[in-house]
Structure 1
Amino acid sequence: MRKLLIKNGQIHTMAGREFLGDLLIEGSKIAALGEALEVPQDTQVLDASGCLVLPGLIDAHCHVGIGEEIYRWEGEDFNEMTDPVTPDMRAIDGINPEDEGFRDARLGGVTAVFTGPGSGNVVGGTGVVMKTAGKIVDKMVIRDPAGLKIAFGENPKMVYSEQKKMPMTRMGTAALLRQALVDAEVYRDKLEEGKSDPDKIPERDLGLEALMKVIQKEIPLRAHAHRADDIMTAIRIAREFNVDLVIEHCTEGHKIAEELAELGYPAVVGPLLTNRSKVELKDKSFKTPGVLAKAGVKVAIMTDHSVTPIEQLPLCAALAYKAGMEKEEALRAITINAAEILGVADRLGSLEIGKDADLVIWSEHPFQLTARPLYVIIDGNIVSPESRKDGIPHAF
């Protein structure tokens, strides 16, 4: 079994422990942490003296692989904008592991992402949590499906008003989502009846199967919502159907922070390192993640890559810290909080025995402008620094 020992690093576990010492990797898992660990035979050793060792960063909302940034329509697989309700779409079928964005992620210390459909449809399809290193998507995936994308506000209105079909209003968006969830409840009930009466088993419906995972709380709705009123509509519907919900973007979340905290829904905030490209972003602020966190909302920070380049995830968190978010909370927003919101905290987000060996050795704290990820390790393998095709190392 492959063994790798990281020695003499400042290890910040994101699990309540920070110390100067060692971390042992056996195979793809963390095997031990402590001071002056014994070096097993046939172990590769990395000296991390003067460096900070952190869990790999996690981008809790992006479109890496499914929206290939150097292409035009050839690599744009965000939305199947021919029908406003497409729950049967699966991100895994549109992800290209050779997208340059995966390499950029690794160069920025991002070792895992949630990637999925865009926000052109009321119901867009399911997304996945996956590693950022690998050749085959199926082997990179950690959780599939990891959530069902839904969208409120301007995007679905814009797409379908141009097609002269529903939804042309916010009311229409909410109505279509409600009907989709009702249809899933009916489908579920018919399947249950079919257990005792085979004649009542309905014809198989892949879209309703995806929606059933939501109403059975196997996966959450992941709601694109910028404005405060759209956020509350998403919550209203989630409460009506008693389903789990993650608020994505949450641009005006600071306006209703106490209410969100009381209701208990997590928020994945961003992209913040961008311009105000539409009316819904008029109150965009790097203060929002900190306001939400201080109110008691569990917060992750996203890039929405390629809106903000994915390698700038630590910069986004650093700017939230600069705007008033607690430093440790900003770091949690791109590590353990993100893992918990994505339902993969048993494997990712912190450095603990038995978890995946996904970690980064930083030259200094990643919130420093001069910080560089000296080594990026995924599943126990050193995947960065990397070289270009001409053999010249990439600058971190």
Structure 2
Amino acid sequence: MIAAALLTASTSPGGIAAGEPGGPPLALACAKALVCAHEGTQVVDRALVVVRDGRIESVGDSRTSAPPAGAELVDLGAHWLVPGFIDLHSHVGGDLGINDMVFQANPELRVSTAVVPLNANLERALAAGVTTILFIPGSGTNCGGQGILLKTAGRSYDEMVVRDPGSLKIAQADNPARWGYGMGRGMMNWTIREFCSRGRAYANAWTEFERGAGPEPERDLKFDVFRELYAGRTQISTHTQVYQVVYNTLRILRQELGLPVYIDHGEFDAFLLGEMARELGVAGILGPRSISTQVKSRGVDHDGKVVGLAAAWQENGLVEIGFNTDAPVVPAEELPLQAAMGAHYGYDDSQLGTLRGLTIVPARTAGIDARVGSIEVGKDADLLAVRGDPVDPRTGIECVWVGGRKVYEAREGRRLW
């Protein structure tokens, strides 16, 4: 049995378990591995996945591949292996001990100061297979500050951090309209264009200095993040929903300013912009709403129909589609249910789209696909042992490894989700 096999895990002379950095190799044999690579083979039947020093060393067929010398072999039986899930919109990575509503735009604010390892929300997320999150500020202003990409299983901040800054959070429309004296959408568009234009000028000045073509600029913490953005080392995650608002996201941030950006939410009738988003290379990370109904007060008219948002974006030409929870709006542990809802309401899942929307799509969107998002050689061994289709709500997560370390096992009496 899987539980019995895992309970007899071998360790190094220093007490380090197999698969962890410094420990012996770990070989996981399973009925199949859903690889979720960006291109190429997606499924390996009777797979053997070897983990060494926290990373994936090889992925092969257990009928023709042997574990390396000194490895611990764990037979997962009929279980499958899949990559750990990634949620690019989460507010549960720590406490809310930050004030992201001081100014209308706060690009210098860092949510990293609020990270709390091993908090209960992360433990439940981990039990549901969520191994990486983007912990971000709120949407009460046009720019709440910088988010941070975290592993959910780290015992300390240093163990958790994947990248800081994980994103720059920009918000449009209704939520920031409540800030201060109240703002209309024209005012918000002006604000976003103005501070991002200043950020672009700041980043360009540093680029010229580094090329030896200009003087050294005075450092300004408010705009430092734009150096990361224009170097392609982070992205803008945008709280943006209805057609008009998403259109301005695409027009101002992507077309005019050339910033790396993705759609966060993408609700109501925004799916009509699917082709435009695809042409601009903008992904849609959808949620927490999975459906859109008729809201004529917002100018949304679906002729009385209930529209599945993931399906509608897909039908309108968008390819890179992922899912989020906006936790705690939807609990973090319900991330796979968000994908299941997409399929239930018409999203074509014939090419593993829902699972890819939890793994390689958000990894590529956030620029962390060299480390996570698929079961490929060299990547972090963030792995889930599941009893079947991982997006089916009836499927249980049996074991979770993060960086080669077993961090969760749903033995009898310990299942958290």
Matched, 1:88 2:84: no
Aligned partner of 1:291 in structure 2 is: 312
Aligned partner of 1:184 in structure 2 is: 199
- Within 5 Å, give how 1:1-396 maps onto structure 2: 1-15=23-37, 16-18=41-43, 19-36=45-62, 37-66=65-94, 75-77=95-97, 79-158=99-178, 160=179, 163-164=180-181, 168-188=183-203, 191=206, 201-238=216-253, 239-251=255-267, 252-272=269-289, 287-294=308-315, 295-327=317-349, 328-385=352-409, 392-396=413-417
The 8 Å contact of residues 292 and 307 in structure 2, kept in 1 or not, is answered as no
Residues 53, 81 of structure 1: CA spacing in aligned structure 2 closer, same or farther, 3 A cutoff? same
The one-letter code matched in structure 1 to 2:264 is E
Distance 1:101 1:29 in 2: 26
The 8 Å contact of residues 129 and 146 in structure 1, kept in 2 or not, is answered as yes
Secondary structure of the 1:206 match is coil
Residues 285, 110 of structure 1: CA spacing in aligned structure 2 closer, same or farther, 3 A cutoff? farther
Q: How far is the alpha carbon of 1:395 from its aligned partner?
A: 4.0
Distance 1:259 1:132 in 2: 34
Q: How well do the aligned residues superpose, as a CA RMSD in angstroms?
A: 2.7
Residues 281, 55 of structure 1: CA spacing in aligned structure 2 closer, same or farther, 3 A cutoff? farther
Residues 358, 197 of structure 1: CA spacing in aligned structure 2 closer, same or farther, 3 A cutoff? closer
TM-score normalised to structure 1 length: 0.87
Residues 218, 358 of structure 1: CA spacing in aligned structure 2 closer, same or farther, 3 A cutoff? closer
1:146-169 C-alpha deviation (Å, 9 max, x unpaired): 2211010011111x2xx32xx511
Distance 1:386 1:281 in 2: 47
The 8 Å contact of residues 184 and 215 in structure 1, kept in 2 or not, is answered as no
Does 212-221 or 5-14 show the bigger shift? 212-221
Distance 2:96 2:105 in 1: 19
Residues 229, 78 of structure 1: CA spacing in aligned structure 2 closer, same or farther, 3 A cutoff? farther
Distance 2:364 2:167 in 1: 13
Distance 2:291 2:275 in 1: 26
Structure 2 stretches of 5 or more lacking a match? 1-22
Residues 101, 173 of structure 1: CA spacing in aligned structure 2 closer, same or farther, 3 A cutoff? same
Does 245-254 or 258-267 show the bigger shift? 258-267
The one-letter code matched in structure 2 to 1:35 is D
Structure with higher helix content: 1
Distance 2:142 2:371 in 1: 31
1:68-99 C-alpha deviation (Å, 9 max, x unpaired): xxxxxxx3246521211111111211111132
Residues 81, 122 of structure 1: CA spacing in aligned structure 2 closer, same or farther, 3 A cutoff? same
Count of residues in Structure 1 that have an aligned counterpart in Structure 2: 378
Distance 2:59 2:274 in 1: 38
TM-score normalised to structure 2 length: 0.83
The 8 Å contact of residues 234 and 366 in structure 2, kept in 1 or not, is answered as no
